[in-house]
Structure 1
Amino acid sequence: MIRLYRAGETHAEASDVLPGWTLPADVLWIDLVRPTREEETVVEAALGLGLPTPEEMAELEASSRLYRQNGAVFLIADLMHHGDEDLPALAPTTFVITDGPLVTIRYVDPKPFSMLDDRLEREPALCRSGHEVFLTLMEAVIDRLSDVLSGNAAHVEAVSSHVFTQTKTVGFDRLITKLGRAHMANARIEQSLSGLARIFAFLGPDDRFEKDVEIREHLRSLGRDASSLIVHAQAVAASINFQLSAALGLINIEQSSIIKIFSVASVCFLPPTLIASIYGMNFERMPELSEPWGYPAAIAAMVAAAVLPLLWFRGKGWL
């Protein structure tokens, strides 16, 4: 599907393009949503540019993601979608900055695109060029990443209150699973922010953004926002790592306590077992067996052999 946003309009509209289609002069934004090869071919012919394929968009090398070709700037960024879920996903999205309209190519529906549609509907005169559409869209992307990062940080803080609770009912297996998913989500947020920071740095010297003071300052502001969010994401990652280490340490302490109980029980029951074993051999020359006080004496010896180690452990402070 191809969506076109024209100057002064309140929203982008889906458009059917046919071979030989020419680009209207008032188009500020061409949004290709899961385009077919025929749609890509028509847009390429209208712009005189070659658009990257999904395979090329999936490349991870910086040289393949940020480049200039035929007077246009090609930028590929990993944008987050399904950000409201516990584990957001990333998908590559292409931005083509030309002297005319902005071109975007995407195969998912990140929320910033709908956020931009809502904003353009409220402020039709917000964007006067493709460059302003790009910066406004990037602002929506940064805002969305900030919201997802704040939600993830709050989730980690909630898990922290359970990790360090004083009760004995903490399910560490569930907490570690939650922390692991939070760590993966945070890593994806940081990956997206790092890609955006590279984009803003790459566009800094570009004449399209450098010659206009307002656009240049807007771009620099976005770069500072991305950098500050990266620092925030790194702080959240450090908190997650600390809580994972703390949870594992508490698990070890709990396991040590359990082993200590079994060890104390073994030590306490070993002497009575030894006494019972001796008197259970039934040799003929065991005078205690024929005495009336033999059985009570054996019971008393076993009780004393069990109690004395407990008292000794408590005196040492081991219990």
Structure 2
Amino acid sequence: MLNLLRRGAPGFETQSPAAAWAPPPDTIWIDLKSPTRDEELAVERALGVELPTPEEMAQLEPSSRLYQDNGATFMTATLLARSAEGPTTAPVTFVLVKGLLVTIRYEELRAFTVFAERAPQAEAGSGTAALLGLLDAIVERLAEILEETAEGVETASKTIFRQRAQDGGYQPLLAELARAQSVTSTTRTSLVSLARLLSFAALAREIAADPECGAHLKSLQSDVQSLTEHASFQSTHISFLLDAALGLINIEQNGIIKIFSVMAVIFMPPTLVASVYGMNFHHMPELSWTFGYPMALCVMVASALLPVLWFKHRGWF
């Protein structure tokens, strides 16, 4: 899909490029979302650049993700996608060329839609301004995700330390913490990737020649660094809560095993007495004794009470 953002227009405009397609003069942003090969070729012909393939975008080498070629600056970052369904990372390429911003992506990213809708109000009049505004929207979205995750972690912390697990046990709590850890880890990966992109973006001719853009870029770098530190702290906190939850589970299991162990010791002597008198040998004196049965019951009760009294004295029961 080939989307255009035109100066002052409310949101994206979808186009189907022909062989001699060219972007309108007031275009500031070309967004290629899961583009077909024909759409890629049309943009390449119109701008005179060679766009990276999905395989090149997925490579980890800086030379494949951050480079300048034929007057264009290519920057690829790994961004968080599908945070609500199941967090994953998706490579996104940003290209500054001939005063335009070109983006290539293969996932639905909320920050892109949000920025496209508010860009006219922000008066994004150039590709450089669109790039910095889009990066602002991406950083804000990552900050929102971290904040939402932090609220869930705080709720889990209260559940662990201030009240016992409900009827469902600790399984839902552990699942929520595992999801929070996954989202936080993926968010931190995106922030680290963005930090590398922002450092390289300072080399772009359009940004280096504009002091205002340079100041905006430094502000973004500061925000990304702060969020990265916050994500690292939150990841450590989640790991602590997971360890604490597992420790409490072990304590509960040990308590259950302790009860069964005590009950086994209590009932072992009566079982022994009952087994002895259940052998029914002919020459057992108590078999013909009138008080043999009551005596056996009293011995069983006494043998059960003695371990109980001993455990209470030792503080084990």
Over aligned residues, Cα RMSD in angstroms? 1.8
What is the CA deviation profile of residues 143-168 of structure 1, one whole-angstrom value per residue up to 9, with x for unaligned ones?
11111111011111112222224335
Counterpart code for 2:178: G
1:166 to 160, 163, 167: 163
2:130 to 124, 133, 144: 133
1:291 aligned onto 2:293: no
Report the CA distance between 1:14 and its aligned residue: 1.9
What is the CA deviation profile of residues 42-62 of structure 1, one whole-angstrom value per residue up to 9, with x for unaligned ones?
111111110011222222333
- Residues 168 and 21 (structure 1 numbering): CA distance in 2 closer, same or farther, change over 3 Å? closer
2:223 to 215, 220, 225: 225
**1:269-284 matched pairs, under 5 angstroms:** 269-284=267-282
What is the CA deviation profile of residues 92-144 of structure 1, one whole-angstrom value per residue up to 9, with x for unaligned ones?
21111124201111222211111112212434xx2222111000000000111
- Residues 304 and 102 (structure 1 numbering): CA distance in 2 closer, same or farther, change over 3 Å? same
State how far apart, in whole Å, the 1-side matches of 2:221 and 2:58 are: 23
- Residues 244 and 5 (structure 1 numbering): CA distance in 2 closer, same or farther, change over 3 Å? same
Q: Quick check: 2:7–2:120 contact (8 Å CA) kept in 1?
A: no
- Residues 272 and 183 (structure 1 numbering): CA distance in 2 closer, same or farther, change over 3 Å? same
State how far apart, in whole Å, the 2-side matches of 1:287 and 1:97 are: 105
Alignment-derived partner of residue 38 in structure 1: 38
Alignment-derived partner of residue 107 in structure 1: 106
Alignment-derived partner of residue 173 in structure 2: 175
Alignment-derived partner of residue 89 in structure 1: 88
Counterpart code for 2:219: S
1:144 aligned onto 2:141: yes
Q: Quick check: 1:89–1:188 contact (8 Å CA) kept in 2?
A: yes
Report the CA distance between 1:75 and its aligned residue: 1.2
Any gaps of 5 or more consecutive residues in structure 2?
none
Counterpart code for 2:306: L
State how far apart, in whole Å, the 1-side matches of 2:21 and 2:116 are: 25
**1:163-312 matched pairs, under 5 angstroms:** 163-167=160-164, 169=166, 171-312=169-310
State how far apart, in whole Å, the 1-side matches of 2:285 and 2:33 are: 98
Any gaps of 5 or more consecutive residues in structure 1?
none
Shifted more, 157-166 versus 272-281: the winner is: 157-166
Counterpart code for 1:145: L
State how far apart, in whole Å, the 1-side matches of 2:236 and 2:41 are: 47
Shifted more, 275-284 versus 153-162: the winner is: 275-284
Q: Quick check: 2:270–2:299 contact (8 Å CA) kept in 1?
A: yes
Q: Quick check: 1:87–1:182 contact (8 Å CA) kept in 2?
A: no
Query: Structure 2 length as normaliser, TM-score?
Result: 0.93
SS in 1 for 2:108: coil
What is the CA deviation profile of residues 253-285 of structure 1, one whole-angstrom value per residue up to 9, with x for unaligned ones?
111111111111111111111111122223344
Alignment-derived partner of residue 3 in structure 1: 3
Alignment-derived partner of residue 119 in structure 1: 118
Q: Quick check: 1:86–1:182 contact (8 Å CA) kept in 2?
A: no
State how far apart, in whole Å, the 2-side matches of 1:262 and 1:11 are: 67
What is the CA deviation profile of residues 155-210 of structure 1, one whole-angstrom value per residue up to 9, with x for unaligned ones?
11112222224335361122112211111111111111111111011123434222
- Residues 162 and 168 (structure 1 numbering): CA distance in 2 closer, same or farther, change over 3 Å? closer
State how far apart, in whole Å, the 1-side matches of 2:148 and 2:121 are: 27
SS in 1 for 2:125: coil
Counterpart code for 1:139: D
Query: Structure 1 length as normaliser, TM-score?
Result: 0.93
